Copies of this chain bind each other. A is one copy, B any other.
Amino acid sequence: MVIATYRFPSGVDAGRQAEIIAIGQTLGSADARFAGREQALAACRGQVLEVRADGDGARAQVAFPAANTEYDIGTLLTMVFGKYSLAGPARLVDLRLPPDFGTRPRFGIAGLRARLGVAGRPLLMAIFKPALGLTAADHATLLRAVADTELDLVKDDEILGNLAQAPTRERLRACRPVIEAIRDRRGRDFLYAVNVTGRADTLLATARALVAEGANALLLNVLVYGYPMLEALARDPAIGVPIIAHPALAGALALAPDHGIDYALVLGRLMRHAGADVVLHPARFGSLPFSAADESRVITALTDSDDHWPAVFPGPSAGIKPAIVPALLADYGRDLVINAGSAIFDAATGPKAAVESFFAAMDA
């Protein structure tokens, strides 16, 4: 069974809507007259489990047969909120999935820690800045400025695609010698999450080619390219590197209060079950509006042991500064990827001192 929970604002007849979902998202017709098919139809039909008041609105749980899906996130989303998303104010707020639903992260928290040889502290990731306007050689120069630190990962900005000013493959080629020098010096790896873009066919081919050329991590704008693309990357034996999920476009699905899909699913459970190893998300003390409740629910969805699935790294992002780090650690412990953009590569002190400030904040 897939159990989906919907929240309806005040004024909506939640019981009636739950019935519309249970039938409309399975058999398709609420008044179907298909004599002789009762048994086959009953096996596919959704069931309303519960409808209850929730503040000034209501919430309802609907159970769907998992066999109505392909055990992947694509058919899951179509089933639980596809056509119904167009039906009026309703928000998909929770999903409980049966065992083995989706794509396991290849690394997760445990695997990524082992890969990087880091235990007992958060990982630190930098973002190349400015996002656009640099050449491939500029990327390598920026990276050299932090080569003497314990920085764990660097990533492209999500808006930097395969552009003439700095083609993706050239960025990788320019940075590889610096990455190798870092690894040689400190005896543990350093990951560069290369932003992989393109139409669905070229994106997959590009990802395989980048890995063949030495890319040791990938960044994907999952909401732009689709969870099915994340699942494909995470399963591909020719890829096999950690995948960092970027939240670009997530607000278009999750920010409105009475519509769309909750952040805890969009950036939480769905990402974890689609194979992401690190999921970037706003932080409540950062530069984007993100409530403590949203932050906590996203991080819980990525890491909780109620979900029998490998835990994956939350990556608090956007306006992250050293001063924010102690509060993050106090609330969530050490299984975080602290993801800093301007606070490292646009820091007044220079990137190296900025990285050291982040490590000092982790120790404090």
Given known A72-B198, A87-B288, contact A82–B255 (CB-CB < 8 A):
no
A101 CB to nearest B CB, Å: 13
The answer to the question of A335 belonging to the interface, with a C-beta cut-off of 8 Å to chain B, is: no
Contact in complex: A228, B226 (CB < 8 Å):
yes
Asked if A235 is at the interface (CB within 8 A of a chain B CB), the reply is yes
Residues in B neighbouring A236, C-beta threshold 8 A: 201
In the assembly, what is the distance between CA of A203 and CA of B70, in Å? 12
Q: Which residue of B lies closest to A259 (CB)?
A: B256
Which residues of chain A (153-201) have a CB below 8 Å from chain B? Answer: 157-159, 161-165, 197-201
CB distance from A220 to the nearest CB of B (A): 10
Given contacts A40-B165, A346-B32, contact A228 B255 (CB under 8 A): no
Which residues of chain B come closer than 8 Å to A29, judged between CB atoms? 129-131, 341-342, 346
Verify B260–A67 contact, CB threshold 8 A.
Answer: no
Q: Are A199 and B235 in contact (CB under 8 A)?
A: yes
Closest B residue to A38 by CB, please name it: B133
Judge whether B228 and A228 touch: CB under 8 Å: no
Chain B residues contacting A232 (CB-CB under 8 Å) are 199-202
Interface string of A63-100 (1 = CB under 8 A from B): 00001111010110111011111111100100000000
- Give complex CA distance A70, B103 in Å: 29
Which chain B positions have C-beta within 8 A of A70? 161-163, 197-198
A41 contact from B83, B130, B229, B251, Cβ within 8 A? B130
Measured in the bound complex, the distance between the Cα atoms of B203 and A92 in whole Å is 26
Q: Hey, which chain B residues are within 8 Å of A258, CB to CB?
A: 256
CB distance from A11 to the nearest CB of B (A): 13
Contacts of A231 in B (CB 8 A): 199-200
- Whether the Cβ atoms of A129 and B28 lie closer than 8 Å is yes
Bound-state CA distance A129–B260 (Å) is 27
Residue of B nearest to A88 (CB): B289
- Does any Cβ of B come within 8 Å of A221's Cβ? yes
CB distance from A264 to the nearest CB of B (A): 14
A57 CB, nearest partner CB in chain B, Å:
15
As a 0/1 sequence over residues 217 to 246 of chain A, the CB contacts with chain B under 8 angstroms (1 = contact) are 000010011111101110110000000001
Known contacts: A129-B28, A130-B41. The answer to whether A253 contacts B251 by CB under 8 A is: no
Contacts A78-B249, A228-B199, A259-B252 known; A40 to B103 CB distance under 8 Å?
no
Kindly supply a per-residue 1/0 record for chain A positions 16-33, scoring 1 wherever the CB is within 8 Å of any chain B CB and 0 otherwise.
000000000111110111
**Sorted from nearest, which 6 A-B pairs have the closest CB atoms?**
A82-B248, A28-B131, A85-B251, A256-B256, A226-B226, A86-B251
